[in-house]
């Protein structure tokens, strides 16, 4: 089982729709979760971070975390063509032999989102 | 506030050579992590430095090494380059060693021929 798994893509939605991106993780002790957006040929850009169970909203983006189910998701409302990119789920961890992960992020394989006009 | 700066942006090297990549973190950030991104393996953690000390290391061979200077700038070195080392190398900086957010530089695209 991969440490961080994202729903297989690519995902295609019409402009104005809600895009739903999902991610599961295997390390039950993980505490910090992030969503990055990566345009083709560019580096990842942080768009959301979430640390507590529940929802966190920032503009058109909502991150949802359920630690009991080891599940984190990203909703993009009113999707725009400019949202077309690869979305990467990242989890801080897993713990190393010394019992800490420090700043290590483990990434999912990414979901390619295309928003068509 | 300046972001994370990586140099050079592009590199072409020959098998067997070595390469050094540089990363200047956001001002005030003391933690620097390095990642390798390839189409097949995705983003993989190489190592993290904090206060000039390597705090964590990923599953890469010893040909991959790094260091951090007192001003938090970091370098990574790859010796005896192999074709499979062709990748986008990304540096990420964070404020402290723990759970805060990480911001990536533009990356260095390394091509080994």
Taking the CA of residue B91 and the nearest CA in chain A, the distance in Å comes to 10
Residues whose CB is less than 8 angstroms from the CB of residue B95 and which lie 6 or more positions away in sequence, other chains included: B28, B29, B30, B31
- CA atoms of B3 and A99, how far apart (whole Å): 31
Digit-coded pLDDT (tens) for B19-49: 999 999 999 899 999 999 999 999 999 999 9
A58 touches chain B (CB under 8 A): no
**Which residue of B42, B102, B107 is in closest CB contact with A103?**
B102
Q: What is the tens place of the pLDDT at every residue in A27-66? A: 888 889 999 999 999 999 999 999 999 999 999 999 999 9
Choose, out of B5, B38, B43, the residue to mutate when testing the contact with A (most A CBs < 10 Å).
B43
Q: Is the pLDDT of residue A100 over 80?
A: no
Tell me which chain A residues have a C-beta less than 8 angstroms from the C-beta of B60. none
Q: Which residues contact B10 (CB under 8 A, 6 or more apart)?
A: B108, B109, B111
Count of pairs with CB atoms under 8 A, one residue in A, one in B: 63
B104 touches chain A (CB under 8 A): yes
Least trusted range by pLDDT, from A4-13, A17-26, A43-52, B78-87 = A4-13
* Cβ atoms A49, A75 nearer than 8 A: no
Please say whether the beta carbons of B63 and B54 come within 8 A.
Answer: no
């Amino acid at each position: 089982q991969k440490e961080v798994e994202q729903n297989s893509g690519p995902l295609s939605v019409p402009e104005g729709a809600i895009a739903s991106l999902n991610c599961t993780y295997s390390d039950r002790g993980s505490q910090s979760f992030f969503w990055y957006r990566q345009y083709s040929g560019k580096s990842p850009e942080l768009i959301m971070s979430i640390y507590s169970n529940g929802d966190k909203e920032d503009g058109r983006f909502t991150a949802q975390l359920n630690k009991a189910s080891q599940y984190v998701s990203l909703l993009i409302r009113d999707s725009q063509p400019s949202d077309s990119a690869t979305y990467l789920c990242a989890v801080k961890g897993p713990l190393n032999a010394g019992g800490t992960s420090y700043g290590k992020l483990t990434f999912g394989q990414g979901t390619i989102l295309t928003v068509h006009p | 506030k300046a972001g994370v700066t990586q140099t050079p942006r592009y590199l072409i090297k020959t098998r067997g050579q070595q390469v050094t990549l540089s990363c200047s973190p956001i001002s005030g950030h003391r933690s620097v992590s390095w990642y390798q991104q390839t189409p097949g393996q995705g983003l993989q953690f190489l190592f993290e430095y904090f206060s000039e000390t390597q705090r964590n290391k990923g599953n890469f061979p010893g040909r991959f090494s790094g260091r951090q200077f007192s001003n938090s700038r970091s370098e990574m070195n790859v010796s005896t380059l192999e074709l499979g080392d062709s990748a986008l190398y990304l540096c990420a900086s964070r404020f402290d060693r723990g759970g805060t957010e990480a911001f990536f530089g533009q990356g260095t695209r390394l091509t080994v021929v």
